[in-house]
């Protein structure tokens, strides 16, 4: 089930005149469609010559905080990024504050989703070579995972119980 990512664009002239006039718009729609909906909303304003708007509400941005004066193009790009990576994009944006940096992290440095960083450390260790059976019980994968995170080798986003998204940091 995907969550619709939408914005409520309000007519500022109507708002300042005491009217609530605006429209909910799918922020992942084609950018020209978004602009057309904004222009139509302003044209139908209860206040003559209305031409200014702002974003007064939004839904589906996965914890990312939009500014009411954020540009439509920027909101659209953020919404499309969140739609592409719904499990962690909002948290990546909150951490990096830069869409290009967050996108680079998601596209180039994503290691996967694990139940813990210990599971990631175990998979990484076992994938690099065979562990002799007599040593298996001596390896502390929890400490290895914690050390990888503390040293900055990995960046993690925990989104739920046993749901940790891991990104390579270097």
10-60 pLDDT per residue, tens? 999 999 999 999 999 999 999 999 999 999 999 999 999 999 999 999 999
DSSP letters for the chain = -PPP-EEEEEEHHHHHTT---EEEEETTS-HHHHHHHHHHHHHT-SSTT---EEEEEEE-STT----TT--HHHHHHHHHHHHHSTTTHHHHHHHH--HHHHHHHHHHSEEEEES-HHHHHHHHHHHHSPPPGGGGGG--HHHHHHHHHHTTSEEEEEEETTEEEEEE--
Q: Is the pLDDT of residue 2 over 70?
A: no
Local confidence band at 153 (pLDDT 50, 70, 90 cut-offs): very high
Mean pLDDT of 120-141: 90
Percent of the chain beyond pLDDT 70? 98
Looking at residue 170, what is its pLDDT? 65
pTM of the model: 0.86
* DSSP reduced 3-state for 102: helix
56-102 pLDDT per residue, tens? 999 999 989 987 678 999 999 999 999 999 999 999 999 887 999 99
Q: Is the pLDDT of residue 109 over 90?
A: yes
- Give Cα 64 distance to the centre of its chain: 6
């Amino acid at each position: 089930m995907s969550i619709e990512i939408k914005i409520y664009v309000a007519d500022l002239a109507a708002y300042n005149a005491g009217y609530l006039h605006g429209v909910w718009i799918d922020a992942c729609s084609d950018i020209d469609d978004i602009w057309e909906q904004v222009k139509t909303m302003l044209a139908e304003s209860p206040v003559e010559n209305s031409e200014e708007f702002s974003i007064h509400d939004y839904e589906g941005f996965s914890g990312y905080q939009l500014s009411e004066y954020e540009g439509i193009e920027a909101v659209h790009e953020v919404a499309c990024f969140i739609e592409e990576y719904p499990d962690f994009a909002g948290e990546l944006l909150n951490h990096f504050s830069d869409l290009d940096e967050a996108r680079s992290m998601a596209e180039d440095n994503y290691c996967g989703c694990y139940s813990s960083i210990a599971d990631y450390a175990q998979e990484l260790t076992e994938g690099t070579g065979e562990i002799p059976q007599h040593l298996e019980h001596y390896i502390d994968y929890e400490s290895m995972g914690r050390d990888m995170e503390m040293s900055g080798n990995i960046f993690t986003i925990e989104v739920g119980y046993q749901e940790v998204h891991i990104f390579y940091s270097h």
